[in-house]
Amino acid sequence: MKITVFGTGYVGLVTGVCLAELGNEVCCVDIDENKIAMLKAGKSPIFERGMDELLTKNIAANRIFFTTDLHLGIKHGEYLFIAVGTPSALDGSANLDAVFTVAKIIAENIEQSCVVVIKSTVPVGTGDNVRAIITDGLKARGVNIDFDLVSNPEFLKQGDAIEDFMHSDRVIIGADSERAFVKMRLIYAPLKVLIVNMDVRSSELSKYAANAFLAARISFMNEIALLAEKLGADVENIRRGISTDPRVGPYFLHAGCGYGGSCFPKDVKALIKIAEDAGCQPDLFKAIEDINARQKRILVEKMEKHFQGDLCGKTVALWGLAFKPNTDDMREAPSRELLESLWQKGVKVQAYDLVAMNEARRIYGERDDLKLCSDAMSALENVDALVIVTEWDEFKKIDLTSLVAQLKSKVIFDGRNLYDPEKMKQMGVEYYCIGRNK
């Protein structure tokens, strides 16, 4: 099948490459000339495990190509996937300008029957608006071209997105006709995946509901962690105790210094706005966001308490910049709030991350109070404390004897609960973690 994907960001590129891997002829369109030039050369503009190999393989097999020519993309595709960004507007709502721009271009240029698939995360009712834009555009042209409008939200975890796509646990298809369902099932048939059919509006809301629910689990455990610290309990024991209940399960129950990334923060904000616009009071959604905002401040609060409010002139090592392991994404990352708060207090930071160093340079440039180090151990030289905000395996598996020996001041602030507090105590380390200090 001939498929065009508009947008080569995280969702668009993963979708395009994986659909090519399934044997389709895929055209990926983007207005960013530099990004398209990179992709034509077989280089991915995003860090995602397995992406470079899959990209090179499918370019060589002529199953995928990249262009800035929107008209070529529309002419190519029997399926037109809209996978452009929907960033947060100032009021928390999703900015749909790019989605509607693509819809208008489709309306002005399609010449044959097609399926228009909204892959971007969009508020409820966006499918209706896109359908209206295309319908009105066709009327203005004086042509009668049949098309189907489908909502097909993505559920990809950064760092595991290719694996998630190729071995998905379900695919949601929102459509208003059996013909659209049949056409979409043809695309996903090679995956032998569970297809969940529903109406367009329910599909749109399902994406927000899924992300808000996962964010709620994280915020719930962070609230329990705060209580555990006050009562002398251990949040890790609590997590193990409740996660074995099949009604609860083990996922997204780790207490820490907050969630970040391109999805959870943006989608919770958008869901709050959607609820308010619908006349609902989104108390739970607001609480999820408030708890997460508090959690991002918790390490600095622990540091201020340890150093008795005197942080000015201190130097700390920071392990982790990305919002989670296996990605270089720093959008809404806890490291950013931590860095900016420490700088305001006169603290110098020596930071290390396995893949997000260039992203940190892009965001912050050259600063006297930020040193980007070549490895984890060199970041520890002559620091007053170590702060951990990303749970990379390298940090989990590091030799603790070498770690402690390298620290001039035996102080660790661990935002991801990587180590055993009792062992740290035995090694002479003042160890501050989340929900485990008695």
- Per-residue pLDDT tens over the stretch 128-143: 999 999 999 999 999 9
- The pLDDT of residue 264 is above 80: yes
- Per-residue pLDDT tens over the stretch 329-352: 999 999 999 999 999 999 999 999
Domain boundaries of the chain, sorted by first residue: 2-198, 213-432
117: its two tokens: 């698939």
- The pLDDT of residue 437 is above 80: no
Number of H helices, E strands in the chain: 17, 14
CATH number 3.40.50.720 given to 2-198: yes
Residues 6+ apart with CB under 8 A from 210: 155
- Give CA–CA dist 391/401, Å, rounded: 19
- Nearest Cα to Cα of residue 85 among 164, 176, 154: 154
CATH architecture assignment, domain 213-432 = 3-Layer(aba) Sandwich (3.40)
- Give CA–CA dist 46/29, Å, rounded: 16
Determine how many CB atoms are found less than 10 A away from the CB of residue 168: 17
138: its two tokens: 């066709």
pLDDT at position 438: 61
- The pLDDT of residue 95 is above 70: yes
Length of the chain: 438
CB 323 within 8 A of CB 296: no
Three-state secondary structure readout of 250-290: CCCCCCCCCCCCCCHHHHHHHHHHHHHHCCCCCHHHHHHHH
- Give CA–CA dist 214/207, Å, rounded: 11
66: its two tokens: 């990249």
- For 384, the enclosing helix (H) or strand (E) is none
- Give CA–CA dist 154/161, Å, rounded: 10
Catalytic residue chosen out of the listed positions 263, 280, 373, 433: 263
Q: Residue 64: beta bridge partners?
A: 26
- Nearest Cα to Cα of residue 62 among 24, 29, 16, 34: 24
Give mean pLDDT, residues 2-14: 96
Written as one letter, the residue type at 403 is L
Q: Is 263 among the residues known to form the active site?
A: yes
CB 434 within 8 A of CB 255: yes
How far is CA 379 from its chain centroid?
27
- Nearest Cα to Cα of residue 311 among 352, 339, 348, 336: 348
Give mean pLDDT, residues 133-158: 96
Quote the percentage of the chain above a pLDDT of 70: 100
Distance set, CA 395 to CA 32, 99, 338, 399, 422 (Å):
36, 40, 18, 9, 18
- Per-residue pLDDT tens over the stretch 193-218: 999 999 999 999 999 999 999 999 99
> pTM above 0.85?
yes
Determine how many CB atoms are found less than 10 A away from the CB of residue 192: 7
- Per-residue pLDDT tens over the stretch 364-373: 999 999 999 9
- Nearest Cα to Cα of residue 292 among 339, 341, 258: 258
Q: How many CA atoms lie within 13 A of 389 on its CB side?
A: 31
Give mean pLDDT, residues 379-408: 97
- Give CA–CA dist 329/323, Å, rounded: 6
pLDDT at position 381: 97
Secondary structure (3-state) at 61: coil
- Give CA–CA dist 154/391, Å, rounded: 25
Residues 6+ apart with CB under 8 A from 106: 74, 80, 116, 134, 137
User: Do 2-198 and 213-432 come out as alike in CATH topology?
Assistant: yes
- Give CA–CA dist 29/105, Å, rounded: 12
- Give CA–CA dist 260/376, Å, rounded: 22
- Angle between helical axes of 51-60 and 10-21 (0-180°, round to 10): 50
